[in-house]
Amino acid sequence: MAEAGGRRRLAVVAAVSAAAVGVAATVAVLVANASTGDDAAAPVASAAEYPPLESDVLSEEQARARDRAIRQAENARARGLLAPDVRPEDLVAPDGSASVITTEGRDIDCTQVKCVAITFDDGPGSQTDELLRMLSAVDALATWFPLGAVVADSPDRLRAIADAGHEIGNHSWSHPQLTARSNGEIDTQVTRTAELIEELLGTRPSLVRPPYGAISRRVVAELGRLNAPAILWDVDSRDWATRNATSVRRAVLRQVRPGSIVLLHDIHPSTIAAMPRILRTLAARDYVFVTVSELFGGELKAGQVYLDRTDQYRGF
Ligand code: NI
């Protein structure tokens, strides 16, 4: 592939994606909004044909972010979530900033349809691939709250999750109870994790799930200072305690209601084993599986605590 040709293509993509900037700092992901492709008339090479990146054009980090954005868009297209007239490469800026493929394209209004946000903490675990297939089978997007220390050991798992369009939050670096830590330590736990994820994915997670769900007015205020909404849950699967697929399934199905946030941990094989029936049953009840950001229509505010779509925590 000629160098000049490669650069020309990149320039075209840059121009196209300018219309698509402005998508938030949330890690959220996926799904093209057809409107972002309105100006995308110029012919562009398919993702597979992109020339190798040159170090004088893009940093390694930018190159990774761009490649990821292309994979993400390809995934969306494979799942029929991309408008037919939008090509993945049209959505990707040379520096990857167009991970701009947002959940908005799904246009799910959780005030009108039965939404549920499935969340997975403490991982990613060793059965990520299996879980991603299960979710994909029912067109489900979920939200992961990974630990920085785990991500550092298995960055490829996190990339696979993000590539499939799921939302990535932040569950601290090493799972301390934040209420027992100083503000400085909270900052370190959150920021170190966010920086690692940003380095890997090109987008910085904003949602934080405090370990153990332990919060106080001080912790939440500190999270607010770090620009993070605190995401709790209303459906506790207790999967970490029971470690039994049937118990996990029953706990979830008994408690879930429209607008729920479901707490699960994908590091337990029993949780993975419970997922197919949980997903099938909820799909049969007409639930739509959304990310946490989708559940709130992108309206989450830093320094606030969320339990489910309608309730904010007022217990302080
Ligand atoms: Ni946890």
pLDDT digits (tens), the chain, 316 positions: 333 333 323 222 222 233 232 222 222 222 333 333 333 333 333 444 444 444 446 677 777 767 766 776 676 666 555 556 656 666 565 655 543 334 445 668 888 888 999 999 999 999 999 999 999 988 899 999 999 999 999 999 999 999 999 999 999 999 999 999 999 999 999 999 999 999 999 999 999 999 999 999 999 999 999 999 999 999 999 999 999 999 999 999 999 999 999 999 999 999 999 999 999 999 999 899 999 999 998 889 999 999 999 866 656 6
Cα of 202 from ligand 1 centre, angstroms? 24
Cα of 102 from ligand 1 centre, angstroms? 27
First CA to last CA across the chain, in angstroms?
61
Cα of 211 from ligand 1 centre, angstroms? 5
Residues 297, 110: contact at Cβ < 8 Å? yes
Cα of 174 from ligand 1 centre, angstroms? 9
CB atoms within 10 A of CB 297: 16
Cα of 178 from ligand 1 centre, angstroms? 12
Residues 186, 164: contact at Cβ < 8 Å? no
Residues 197, 56: contact at Cβ < 8 Å? no
Helical H segments across 138-259, by residue range: 148-153, 155-163, 183-201, 217-225, 239-242, 245-255
Cα of 209 from ligand 1 centre, angstroms? 8
Cα of 148 from ligand 1 centre, angstroms? 12
Q: Which residue has the tokens 């405090």?
A: 210
Which residues hold their Cβ within 5 A of ligand 1, which is an ion? 121-122, 211
Cα of 296 from ligand 1 centre, angstroms? 22
CB atoms within 10 A of CB 305: 20
Rounded to an integer, what distance in angstroms lies between the CA atom of residue 18 and that of residue 285? 40
pTM over 0.75: no
What is the set of active-site residues?
121, 265
